């Protein structure tokens, strides 16, 4: 049983403790799917006001659904579609206040309004996956969320370096 102490009182504490938990749960494990599954579970359990949390993996120059928590979601995302495709094609984190104003947004869950997508790079600078967080609350994600999730994405660079296709 894993029992992490996560202080959810404020975002700084939340992301500090979440990083430590993600580091601990993936330590010494080289199976990318297992690591993504456990990290998705931690993000889902501790980050408030989400309706989806998980991963899309880069495969054959497109994104394919990875481990997640939330409602069943679209499986294939071309790189020129959606917030996830934008993050994967540009290599830049996407923090979208309202997805209804984002051209090409893919509505997997009609409840999603705000979205935060962070690319994960391998050691050679190639994108291997993205972390995707959805919220039903407009403007849900701010600079602290961007920083916290970027930090976790950087950690996972080393922890999902095995082939994930």
CB of 56 to ligand SME, least distance (A): 7
- Nearer to ligand SME among residue 105 and residue 140 (C-beta): 105
Q: How far is CA 66 from CA 10, 69, 86, 98, 100, in A?
A: 29, 10, 17, 24, 24
Q: Which residues of this protein are in contact with ligand SME, per CB under 6 A?
A: 52, 73-74, 77, 82-85, 105-106, 108, 112, 115, 132, 134
- Nearer to ligand SME among residue 34 and residue 73 (C-beta): 73
CB of 12 to ligand SME, least distance (A): 26
Structure tokens at 90: 């540009």
CB of 58 to ligand SME, least distance (A): 13
CB of 74 to ligand SME, least distance (A): 6
- Nearer to ligand SME among residue 6 and residue 146 (C-beta): 146
Burial of residue 165 (number of CB atoms within 10 Å: 0-12, 13-18, 19+) = exposed
Closest to 36 (Cα-Cα) out of 47, 48, 25, 49: 25
CB of 113 to ligand SME, least distance (A): 11
Contact in structure between 54 and 67 (CB atoms under 8 Å):
yes
Closest to 87 (Cα-Cα) out of 71, 99, 69: 99
- Nearer to ligand SME among residue 18 and residue 131 (C-beta): 131
- Nearer to ligand SME among residue 134 and residue 145 (C-beta): 134
Coil, strand or helix: which one is 136?
A: coil
| Shortest-Cβ-distance residue relative to ligand SME | 82
């Amino acid at each position: 049983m894993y029992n992490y102490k996560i202080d959810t009182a404020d975002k700084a504490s939340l992301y500090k403790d979440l990083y430590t938990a993600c580091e601990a749960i993936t330590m010494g494990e080289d199976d990318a799917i297992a690591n993504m599954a456990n990290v998705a579970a931690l993000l889902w359990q501790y980050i408030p006001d989400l309706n989806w949390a998980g991963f899309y993996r880069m495969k054959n120059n497109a994104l394919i659904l990875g481990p997640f928590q939330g409602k069943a979601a679209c499986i294939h995302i071309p790189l020129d579609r959606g917030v996830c495709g934008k993050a994967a094609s540009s290599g830049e984190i996407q923090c979208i206040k309202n997805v209804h104003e984002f051209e090409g947004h893919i509505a997997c869950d009609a409840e999603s309004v705000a979205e935060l997508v962070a690319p994960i790079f391998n050691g050679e600078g190639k994108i291997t996956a993205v972390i995707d967080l959805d919220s039903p609350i407009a403007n849900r994600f701010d600079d602290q969320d961007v920083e916290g999730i970027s930090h976790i994405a950087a950690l996972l660079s080393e922890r999902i370096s095995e082939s994930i296709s």
